[in-house]
Amino acid sequence: MITIMTPTYNRAYVLSRLHKSLCQQKRRDFEWLVIDDGSTDGTAELIYDCRDKSDFEITYVYKENGGKHRAINEGVVHATGDWIIIVDSDDLLTGDAVAKLYDVINHIGSEFVGMCFRRATLSGHIIGISDTAWSKSMVMQPIMAGHILKGDLAYVFRTSVMRKCPFPEFLGEKFVPELYIWNKISDIGKIVFYVDQVIYLCEYLPDGYTSNFKKNLRSNPCGFGLFYRDQVIRDTRLFGKIKACVRSLQCILYCWLKK
């Protein structure tokens, strides 16, 4: 089975849209696992109402606020599916997303620990670069995929592998870049990228991480510092290494200022 995991914090105003996209799935053999990261806006009541109206399994887990990475760690513990796709509370899935995932799962080899599809805007435009000259499927590491496709991607990982690669947790911080863990997972096995298939639709809201990068960097220097030090090693481009070094130095400064 597939676990669709949604970490959420005070997003009751938009969660119904995601739930509607799940109700429209061609296949219903999945669970929706909602990890509530300390919401105070009636998220629990909304999810319970969704559960009463749905013909698929919905699991709700509440935890004290600690950031998305801690919510993901919690979700991995509770997930009952063999595969996990993380869908943010302000995003949604295309109607054929689950069906597409099962098409791959039914044929994928044991050497693959993950698969990845494209994200698009709500209007259907692929985020990043789309080039029909590429192979429709490519095996590569997440850091390389980011350089080539230049846009956020929809990753799906084996639950067993995600349990081997939990997010590090730093006292007083609430964020660690997801790419840090996705790269760690790629060290364990292969990830196949379907560069022409969209299953995930995005909307970047003003209260999201993407819109508040500078603030998040200053508030979470240990988590970002760990990520950028790893990027210095992994990135094969000189410019990428230099950029990661500069960010690492910023994180060291922010860590010192927080003391």
What are the tens digits of pLDDT across the range 50-92? Answer: 999 999 999 999 999 999 999 999 999 999 999 999 999 999 9
pLDDT of residue 44: 97
pLDDT of residue 206: 67
pTM confidence score: 0.94
pLDDT of residue 129: 87
- Spatial contact of 65 and 38, defined as CB atoms under 8 Å apart: yes
pLDDT of residue 204: 78
Burial status of residue 236 (CB atoms within 10 A of its CB: 0-12, 13-18, 19 or more): exposed
Tell me the CA end-to-end span of the chain in Å, nearest whole number.
46
Residue 188 and residue 110: Cα distance in Å, rounded? 12
Residues with pLDDT less than 70, the chain: 132-135, 206-211
Is the sign of the CA dihedral 72, 24, 90, 48 positive or negative? negative
pLDDT of residue 134: 65
Q: Which of 135, 198, 191 is nearest to 161 (CA)?
A: 191
Residue 46 and residue 28: Cα distance in Å, rounded? 20
Residue 61 and residue 131: Cα distance in Å, rounded? 40
pLDDT of residue 257: 86
pLDDT of residue 22: 97
pLDDT of residue 211: 60
Cβ-based neighbours of 149, under 8 Å, separated by 6 or more: 118, 128, 129, 193, 195
